[in-house]
Structure 1
Amino acid sequence: MNIKQVRKDTPGAGEVIHFNNAGASLPTKFVNNAIKKWLDEEEMTGGYEMESKYESEIMGLYAEIAKLIHCSKDEIAITDNASTAFSKALYAIPFKAEDEIITSEIEYSSNYLNYLKLKKDKGIKLTLIPTDEEGPVDVEALKKAINKKTKLIAITHMPTSSGAIAPVKEIGKIAKQNNIIYMVDTCQSIGHYPTFVDEIQCDFLNGTSRKYLRGPRGLGFLYARRSIYEKLDPYMLEAMGAEWNGRDNYDLNYTSKMFECFEKPVGFMMGLKAAIHYANELTIEHIWTRIDELASYARERWSRIKGVQLHDGNGKELSGIITLTLKDQSPQKVQELLSKHGINSSLCKPFTSYTDMKNKGLASSNRLSLHYYNTLEEIERVADKLQNIR
């Protein structure tokens, strides 16, 4: 990977040290150029006319996502964010009282809140699988938890609150063997780590534009395996998801379009297309290799600083997301002081991943999330500031 060229393609890389990639990454110049080009022409042409004129270019976004995750482009739906994608898939599953959802203790709040809502509204059972020394999901405990009422296994691939990576391939095999619907949230891992649906064997996968894909905010996507469509009952319908063919009749569109709305921000879609094309050109394998190298260096370097404690948990592999605390300093103060020196970072709080944070006994922690355009020099700059915070 030509890091000099990558940073040249990333205007913000010369302005800030950006370690908030798990929040929103710095986009390449190609992302903003694609959005601006679309909006400038749309201003003079008209929105629907532009959409008709550039239909094949718009469909190119679906092809780029399909290439990234190894699926067919007609198994992809574009949504306004990853949470919407997740919820549309979850509520399309026809749950009944006593059906069980198995999930993990690293689950993201937006997902878990909806499990609780289903528990309240429909009487489903919710089972949490603990961590073990191998990683954030105890696979043997998961196997033992499965029973005839298990309807769904839903796993967050990478939590928002640590660098743990769930063994989603191994879990996928278990789900497949037991004929259980399998959903994987890749909000933090898409564009970060090789994540292929043919290997994971998931029925649903949701992702976001703004994080490691380096796209614009306000977009997400859902992968839904073609074979799952006829088992679903979407909680809402839109013109693309069904055909209204009689005063009292409609036919459901058994395709990924059952999850997609007619109205979408096409200009931002062009930005996302540019972002994923850039990732596909670099290849996700090379992206992960670079992130892994940087994160390994950063963990070793920062852990040697007096007072620093890492909170990434267990796992055979750790991601580019690093969480830590500094003794005798509040995470809020650490973040503020880093920011004063042009270093972007973020805070983890219990509302984002309640069980994971509570298990670690943390009220909050600092999160520094690395991407491939970061450098060893930037890691050393953070080390210097952590060593000298007063």
Structure 2
Amino acid sequence: MPSPVLDGMVAYLQREAEIGGYEASAESTTRLEGVYDSIARLVGSKREEIALTENATLAWQRAFYSLRFGPGDRILTTSAEFAANYVAFLQVARRTGARVEVIPDDANQVLDPEALARMIDKRVRLIAITWIPTNGGLVNPAEAVGRIARAHSVPYLLDACQAVGQIPVDVRALGCDMLTATGRKFLRGPRGTGFLYVRDDFLKGIEPAMIDLFGAPWVGPERYELRSDARRFETWEANYAARLGLGIAADYALSIGIERIEQRCRQLANELRAALGAIAGVLLHDLGESPASIVSFTLRSAVAGEVMRSLARQNINVSVSPPTSTPLDAARRGLPDVVRASPHYYNTIEEVHTLAAAVREIAA
């Protein structure tokens, strides 16, 4: 987390302690409203198309459950879909009689747009894909999917949780109707933050599955009115310190330049893959021709959890991505727990080789 993000949050909390929660939020109205502008600049949208949420999963759920499905309707998704998304598909399928279908991959095991185009018919009610999955550097062709969705007027929900803050995001170019992301990953914002983008024209035809007096004011004894903007998906209560941190994180990333961040991340990730690939007993598991800055690997001599703990003792932070996070992909490839390394722009080439050297010692 960048220092300006931490400093901004601490300063706000200090002000809350001094004058009270309501008073602090009222005093910071302009800055809090500015968060919507920051996120809009980050993804290329209008501020009215942004809703702020407590995390990416909640943002995604609010988007997905606002859609209506019936018997025989088809939901098209990816083989590397995040488990939290997929169980929601299954729940809606069980409730409504809709069907969940996986879009085939191409020879590089990336979503195949041509196969998707062949699947489209009048029963397709949603295309919902993960842009970059949690268990590796695969980058699905989100723009190509958007072109197909637009051509057939099929709603398109894009999970950009691992993409925002790592690669450029332009919702107009992507052609998505809804996009969700977190603040805590590559954007380097605080935990407990996320956001939802909803295209303005699409917003007019959907209603949140659950509403709050903030998003849908009660205007008569038997009547409420939805807000005209994406904030209809929000609730009145919020962690304002975290929201300010999210906005500061977005501004910080924009000040560096998302294109520069992407270039640096890919440089570091490619360097790490090359170094790890040269170690006997290390297996790389990333897919695609140009993977992003999530490097997944396993060792023949140690399980992923042991590798993570061994590296942590050397002050090297990695995580473990279990098969339960992406069960379809893990099952088709026979993946166990995998070690996930996510080099970011602030890392150095020397740190990449320090990680590789530590892995070499574990593998020996």
TM-score interval w.r.t. the shorter chain?
over 0.9
Q: State how far apart, in whole Å, the 2-side matches of 1:258 and 1:123 are.
A: 28
Percent identity over the alignment is 35
RMSD: 1.1
Deviation at 1:195, TM superposition (A): 1.3
Q: Secondary structure at the match of 2:324?
A: coil
Deviations 1:151-203 (A, max 9, x none): 11001000001110000001000000000000100110100011110110101
Residue-by-residue CA offset, 1:118-167 (whole Å, 9 max, x unaligned):
01111111110132224520111111111101011001000001110000
Question: 2:325 — aligned with what?
Answer: 352
Question: Aligned AA for 1:324?
Answer: F
Equivalent in the alignment of 2:68: 94
Q: What is the match of residue 341 of structure 2?
A: 368
CA displacement 1:312-350 (0-9 Å, x = unmatched)? 02x232000000111122112211211111111111111
Is 1:150 aligned with 2:135? Answer: no
Structure 1 residue 251 displacement after superposition: 2.0
Residue 332 of structure 1 pairs with residue 305 of structure 2: yes
Tell me: CA distance 1:135–1:363, structure 2 relative to 1, closer, same or farther (3 Å): closer
Mark the runs of 5 or more structure 1 residues left unpaired by the alignment: 1-26
SS state at 2:202 partner: helix
SS in structure 2 of the partner of residue 206 of structure 1: strand
Per-residue deviation, 1:53? 1.8
- Please name the residue that 2:146 is paired with: 172
1:284 is matched with 258
Q: Within the alignment, does 1:51 sit opposite 2:18 as a pair?
A: no
SS in structure 2 of the partner of residue 343 of structure 1: coil
Q: Which structure 1 residue ranges, 4+ long, deviate > 4 Å from structure 2?
A: none
The question of whether the paired residues in 2 share the 8 Å contact of 1:135 and 1:167 is answered with no
SS in 1 for 2:111: coil
The corresponding residue for 2:282 is 308
By how many angstroms is 1:379 displaced? 1.0
Greater Cα offset, 107-116 or 93-102: 93-102
Q: Structure 2 stretches of 5 or more lacking a match?
A: none
Q: Determine which of 90, 101, 106 is the counterpart of 1:132.
A: 106
TM-score by length of 1: 0.91
The match for 1:251 is 225
Q: Check the 8 A contact 1:240/1:261 in 2, yes or no.
A: yes
AA aligned to 1:270 is: L
Task: Note the C-alpha offset of 1:241.
Answer: 1.6
Tell me if 1:384 matches 2:360.
no
- 1 or 2 for the larger relative contact order (CA 8 Å, sep ≥6)? 1
Shift of 1:254: 3.1
TM-superposed CA distance for 1:365, in Å, is: 1.1
TM-score normalised by L of structure 2: 0.97
Q: Which residue of 2 aligns with 1:226?
A: 200
SS in 2 for 1:316: coil
Deviations, residues 57-99 of structure 1 (Å, cap 9, x unaligned): 1111111111111000111000010000000010101222221
Measure, in 1, the Cα distance between the counterparts of 2:3 and 2:203: 38
